[in-house]
């Protein structure tokens, strides 16, 4: 099916609606919540490999959006891209710095961040998972660190 024969405004609306829904669906899968904060039955736990996998999927969607010749279409994916950038950084606690939060992570919702952090599953201490994560350049964050961050974000969010 081709959208070439549709009027430009309708074609662009279809692209924006589709990309927004895709971004929401990916976010909802990670959080286990829908747009109203109700449980969706998404993934019960998430680790760095799951987050990395979603980031790879997101990058494919962003590449599609860039090639769609629709101005600012890629912005549909900005909140999720910023969220994954934060979660896969080696210093997730930088979110607590107001200057960094307001610039680099301005579109990250504290509520969404908390929902994902609550589902975070630490990789096994001595298993292949930890070694593979380090080799892949992925962060290895201890559950204790995540729990402390959750408390700080909750307190900050009020």
- pLDDT digit string (tens) for 26-73? 999 898 876 666 666 656 888 999 999 999 999 999 999 999 889 999
pTM over 0.95: no
For 65, residues 6+ apart whose C-beta sits below 8 A from its C-beta are 15, 19, 73, 74, 76, 77
CA dist list (Å): 134 to 16, 57, 58: 36, 21, 22
Q: In 10 A of CB 124, how many CB atoms?
A: 11
- Percent of the chain at pLDDT > 90 equals 63
Asked whether residue 106 is assigned to any structural domain, the reply reads: yes
pLDDT digits (tens, 9 = 90+) for 88-97: 998 999 999 9
pLDDT digits (tens, 9 = 90+) for 99-156: 999 999 999 999 999 999 999 988 765 566 778 888 888 888 888 999 999 999 999 8
Asked whether residue 59 is assigned to any structural domain, the reply reads: yes
- pLDDT at residue 136, as a whole number: 83
Asked whether residue 1 is assigned to any structural domain, the reply reads: no
Asked whether residue 49 is assigned to any structural domain, the reply reads: yes
């Amino acid at each position: 099916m081709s959208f070439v024969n549709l009027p430009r405004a309708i074609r662009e609306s279809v692209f924006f609606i589709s990309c927004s829904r895709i971004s929401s669906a990916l976010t909802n899968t990670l959080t286990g919540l829908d747009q109203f904060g109700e449980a969706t039955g998404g993934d019960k736990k998430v680790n760095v490999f799951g987050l990395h996998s979603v980031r790879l999927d997101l990058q494919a969607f962003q590449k599609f959006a860039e090639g769609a010749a629709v101005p600012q279409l890629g912005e549909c994916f900005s909140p999720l891209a910023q969220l994954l950038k934060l979660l896969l950084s080696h210093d997730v606690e930088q979110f607590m710095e107001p200057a960094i939060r307001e610039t680099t992570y301005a579109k990250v919702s504290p509520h969404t961040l908390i929902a994902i952090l609550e589902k975070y599953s630490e990789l096994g201490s001595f298993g292949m998972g930890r070694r593979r994560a380090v080799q892949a350049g992925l962060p290895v964050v201890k559950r204790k660190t995540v729990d402390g961050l959750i408390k700080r974000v909750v307190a900050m969010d009020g």
